[in-house]
Structure 1
Amino acid sequence: MTIRRIVPNIQSDALEENAAFYGLLGLEKVMDHGWIMTLASPSAPTAQVSVMTGDKTAPVTPDMSIEVEDVDAAYAAMRDGGAEIVHPLQDEEWGVRRFFVRDPDGRVVNVLGHR
């Protein structure tokens, strides 16, 4: 399975304050949907952190996001492996196909692929 990037997700109501803080380290805003904002390194664009107030369509806020090449294959592997699916596989209006799964320590992982 090909992993494209792994992004930590920070839950916060202070999106702009976080943008300013991480901006001091050189991260720049590359996505902002109002409820989630992603900051990335200009020199290494897959080095990212996301800050979100809460997830728009899911019942929980994920702790991290893992972008994979084939999200359907990742979903099948997790389901067949007995992992707890927290949010079903679905297409989102902002251009991703994703699902949430709980890891052995209880963290929620958003597994996604861009359409």
Structure 2
Amino acid sequence: MQRVMDHGWIVTLADGAGHQLSLMTKDATAPVNPVLSVFVDDVQEAHDRAVEAGLEIVHPLTDEPWGVTRFFYRGPDGQVVNVGSHTP
């Protein structure tokens, strides 16, 4: 795997087959660190569904300065999940 992104607080490694792994110390803009990140085709729709399901949104839908739109929710087990997509 090769380093494809390094913001100091998060580093992403990737291979030629599209596999990625990100390592984070402390999230730069959110109040908590997620335990898992999932990228989706339509982050707005995912956010709408999370709200409709009554999930606790712990980081609002945000266009981040590094080109990602994302939000965090707390699952029923208390774990925080980052859901995002690349900002168009």
How far 1:33 moved relative to its partner? 0.8
Match status 1:39 vs 2:13: yes
SS at match of 2:46: helix
Match of 2:55 among 68, 83, 108: 83
Q: Give how far 1:87 is off.
A: 0.5
What do you get for the CA RMSD once the two structures are aligned? 1.0
Higher helix share: 1
Q: Secondary structure at the match of 2:28?
A: coil
Q: Identity over aligned residues, as a percent?
A: 57
- Provide TM-score, normalisation by structure 1: 0.72
Name the CA distance, whole Å, in 1 between partners of 2:7 and 2:49: 30
**For residue 68 of structure 1, what is the aligned residue in structure 2?**
40
- Asked if 1:107 corresponds to 2:79, the answer is yes
TM-score (norm 2): 0.92
Structure whose CA Rg is larger = 1
| 3-state SS of 1:50 partner | strand
- Unaligned ranges ≥5, structure 2: none
Within 2, Cα distance between the matches of 1:38 and 1:86?
23
Please list every run of 5 or more consecutive structure 1 residues that lacks an aligned counterpart in the other structure: 1-26
Q: Distance in 2 between matches of 1:36 and 1:72?
A: 24
